[in-house]
Amino acid sequence: MSHQFLLALLCEEIPANALPGARRQLEQGFAKGLEEAGFAGCTVRAFSTVRRLVVHVTGLAAGQPDRIEEVTGPPARAAFTPDGSPTAVALGFARGQGVSVDQLRVVKGSRGDVVAVTRRVKGRTAPEILAEVTTEVVGSLHFPKTMRWGAGEHTFVRPLHNIVAVFGAETMDEVVPLDLFGLGSRGSTAGHRVVAPGRIEMRGITGFEDYAARLEAAGVVVDPDARRAKMLARAEMLAAEVGCTVRPDPVLLDELVELVEHPGLVRGKFSSRFLELPEEVLVTTLRHHQKSLVLEKNGRVAGYFLAVADRPDDPEGHIARGYSWVAGARLADAAFFYAQDQRDSLESRVPALAGVMFHRTSGSYLDKTNKVRQLAVELARQAQLEISLEHLERAAWLAKADLVTAMVGEFAELQGVMGGIYALGDNEPEEVWMAVADQYRPAGLEGPIPRTLTGAMLGVADRLDTLAALLASEKPSGSKDPFALRRAALAVVKICAEFPLPLDVLDACHRAVVGRPGGDEAELQAFLQDRVRHYLTNVVGVRADVADAVLTAHWGVIAADVARARALETVRRDEVFGSLAIVFKRVRNILTKGTHGVLDERVLAVPAERELLAAVAAAEIRVAESLDEDDHEAALHALAPLATPLDRFFTEVMVLCDDSILKDARLALLARIERLFLRLADVSRLATEAR
């Protein structure tokens, strides 16, 4: 009969960011531990609230199956006389194992024949195993931050207050005895701290649904998915009551779900005078500082918000009033900063950047401003961008000035956005204020890129400058990347690829590094190349060997690199590319072995050589034509006719022959082929299936 197990830990409030990982680890840990203990085919599900970690296992056997075990003893020589009768040694071993001497057998041991006995070993019960697995899995849970409490003897995410551990078939009535952090397991727990703090008995509990129902009656919804659905439904209802809709915010909702035991929400409101604040300021205040969902009417922020409450109701209206009061205070603060900031122009703040350190190795933000301004203009000239260099320069000059405004001092996440708003207020041209506003876009792989070419150029120049300045001292390692340099490099890649910017990144790296003490151009290029590879495999979705083949050929104009990778990803499925990969590998190998001069076609007289020569010449023309039309797939396809002649060439011609003139000519022919391939991709890097 199938058995089940329920574990529920009641803790003090667990940080929201620790919970999804804990659920994942619990599911994996229990599944692995039980399987290793011989319980195959269990289903493990983990749930949580801000105060609970819950695991439910179904499909358990009552215990491990009995197993047959062979116990080996003394050498056969010592146990039996040559005529086969048992000695005192055999008798002693049999007695020790609790069997009669005729049950002994002789088996081969590593050092010759030994006496052995086969015994049936009783399997251990499921509760015994469950107690062990629980101790092991819970004890090795990894959290972002752990703590000690009380006597300071134990370490966990937060102090533990109750353990339910029950086991059974149809009902889980057997308490599994176990001990965690000095606390013993039991068959009851407590409900919601305020709504129903009394004891909840687990006796007669039939499964997770029953458990969830008993807890819900005590104000606790243990399944995060259920909390999310309820919260969303309540949000929509509270919005509809005032004729609004909820601005979708799945990221915030995910966090709110982890903050409570009960998925409660209240509707707060704020004075309509704050609706005159820039929408970004309103939303940031409500969202980041109050963790509130924003309500909107006709696409515009309305004077209401929804805030989380860990209870189903607001019996005296205190909660909504409290939140509204706090929101009003925060918005008043923001309005005060906004008014104060507008007294001075953005430009007048630039000199104050001299007092804000960018990095201990690289001076102030004013220094950075000057460097970025110069770099942006140089890069725009180099790439022959059709933008006003004057506007670009202006945007770069104003870009960091909002760091010394009161608003950004208080709401750091509004950097850039406020700069854009204040620049607009100062009547800066659209190209300028939009570039300032968009300079931090994209925030990650997902976010939008700058809207204008000026903004894109500024964003790239700013990040290249940051990378050139910090890579030497703050190079990311493993999960450590305190200055988010990987994200900065990825943003460069994303902007160049998606805007797209006709910028040669290798040259740009050189310009960003030049004249900077300790700057390392090659390191910066390698760091960026790594992000291009990441972008190709994770965003464009090409296979790792395709990215490799494209990037080792050449790279730099990222939009073009992406186009080549896309094309290769499509054509590589063509069987001929398998052959091309193999034969091109031979080309590259052989070229490492000899030098080659100018190709003297007259020397090449063998039919296989003439054929290859003709094929190369034809392919060169077709590749060039296709590339002129930006058709990378056609260009790659133009290489295909080389597969057969190359194969024949290698079969019939001895490249590294004794005649040095002939050798040079053959190597030169292969070098010409290599050059042609590498305009597109180093297809020798493609993974080939064994044929």
Partner 1 sequence: MDLQDLILSLSRFWSEYGCVIQQPCDLEIGAGTMHPETFLRVLGPEPYNVAFVQPSRRPADARFGENPFRLGKHLQMQVILKPSPHEVQELYLKSLTALGIEPSFHDVRFEEDNWESPTLGAWGVGWQVLLDGMEITQFTYFQQAGGLDLQPIAAELTYGLERIAMFLQRKDSIYDLTWGGGIAYGKVRHQDEVELSRFAFHVADVEMLRRHFEDWERESVRCLEQEEPLVVPGLEAALKMSHLFNLMDARGAVAVTERVALIGRVRKLAVRCAKAFVAQRERLGFPLLARRGGEA
Q: Which residues of the chain form contacts with partner 1 (CB under 8 A)?
A: 12-13, 15-17, 50, 145-153, 159, 161, 193-194, 259-260, 264, 266, 268, 290, 307-311, 314-316, 318-319, 321-323, 325-329, 332-333, 336, 355-357, 360
| Nearest distance in Å: CB 397, partner 1 | 22
| Nearest distance in Å: CB 266, partner 1 | 8
Helix (H, G, I), strand (E, B) or coil at 213: helix
Q: Please identify, using beta-carbon distances, which residue of 230 and 394 lies nearer to partner 1.
A: 230
Q: Please identify, using beta-carbon distances, which residue of 143 and 527 lies nearer to partner 1.
A: 143
| Nearest distance in Å: CB 192, partner 1 | 11
| Nearest distance in Å: CB 467, partner 1 | 21
Q: Tell me phi and psi for residue 209, to 5 degrees.
A: -60, -40
Q: Please identify, using beta-carbon distances, which residue of 15 and 500 lies nearer to partner 1.
A: 15
CA–CA distances in Å: residue 170 to residues 129, 178, 301, 388 = 19, 22, 52, 76
Secondary structure (DSSP) of 484-552 = -HHHHHHHHHHHHHHTT---BHHHHHHHHHTT-TT--HHHHHHHHHHHHHHHIIIII---HHHHHHHHH
* Spatial distance between the Cα atoms of 278 and 281, rounded to a whole number of angstroms: 5
Residue with tokens 């998915």: 225
Q: What share of the chain is helix, strand, coil (3-state, %, to 5)?
A: 55, 15, 30
Q: Please identify, using beta-carbon distances, which residue of 100 and 473 lies nearer to partner 1.
A: 473
Q: Please identify, using beta-carbon distances, which residue of 84 and 315 lies nearer to partner 1.
A: 315
Q: Which two tokens stand for residue 311?
A: 């209870």
Number of H helices, E strands in the chain: 25, 18
Name the strand (E) or helix (H) holding 47.
strand 43-48
| Nearest distance in Å: CB 315, partner 1 | 5
Q: Please identify, using beta-carbon distances, which residue of 170 and 254 lies nearer to partner 1.
A: 254
| Nearest distance in Å: CB 274, partner 1 | 14
| Nearest distance in Å: CB 50, partner 1 | 8
| Nearest distance in Å: CB 685, partner 1 | 47
Q: Please identify, using beta-carbon distances, which residue of 307 and 668 lies nearer to partner 1.
A: 307
| Nearest distance in Å: CB 538, partner 1 | 30
* Spatial distance between the Cα atoms of 330 and 409, rounded to a whole number of angstroms: 14
* Side chain identity, residue 688: T
Residue 101: count of CB within 10 angstroms of its CB: 17
| Nearest distance in Å: CB 405, partner 1 | 16
Closest-CA residue to 284 (of 334, 341, 238, 340) = 334
| Nearest distance in Å: CB 146, partner 1 | 8
Q: Please identify, using beta-carbon distances, which residue of 69 and 179 lies nearer to partner 1.
A: 179
| Nearest distance in Å: CB 323, partner 1 | 4
Q: Please identify, using beta-carbon distances, which residue of 260 and 613 lies nearer to partner 1.
A: 260
* Spatial distance between the Cα atoms of 587 and 598, rounded to a whole number of angstroms: 17
Cis, bond preceding 65 (omega within 30 deg of 0): no
Residue with tokens 């961008």: 385
CA 208 to chain centre: 32
Q: Please identify, using beta-carbon distances, which residue of 147 and 242 lies nearer to partner 1.
A: 147
For residue 326, count CB atoms less than 10 angstroms from its CB and return exposed for 0-12, middle for 13-18, buried for 19 or more. middle
* Spatial distance between the Cα atoms of 391 and 476, rounded to a whole number of angstroms: 34
* Spatial distance between the Cα atoms of 310 and 193, rounded to a whole number of angstroms: 10
Specify the long-range contacts of residues 652-658, CB closer than 8 Å, at least 24 apart. Answer: 652/606, 652/607, 652/608, 653/606, 653/608, 653/609, 655/590, 655/594, 656/590, 656/593, 656/594
* Spatial distance between the Cα atoms of 567 and 548, rounded to a whole number of angstroms: 14
| Nearest distance in Å: CB 519, partner 1 | 21
Q: Please identify, using beta-carbon distances, which residue of 277 and 458 lies nearer to partner 1.
A: 277
Q: Please identify, using beta-carbon distances, which residue of 322 and 476 lies nearer to partner 1.
A: 322
Q: At what angle do helices 453-474 and 521-535 cross, to 10 degrees?
A: 120
Q: Please identify, using beta-carbon distances, which residue of 185 and 579 lies nearer to partner 1.
A: 185
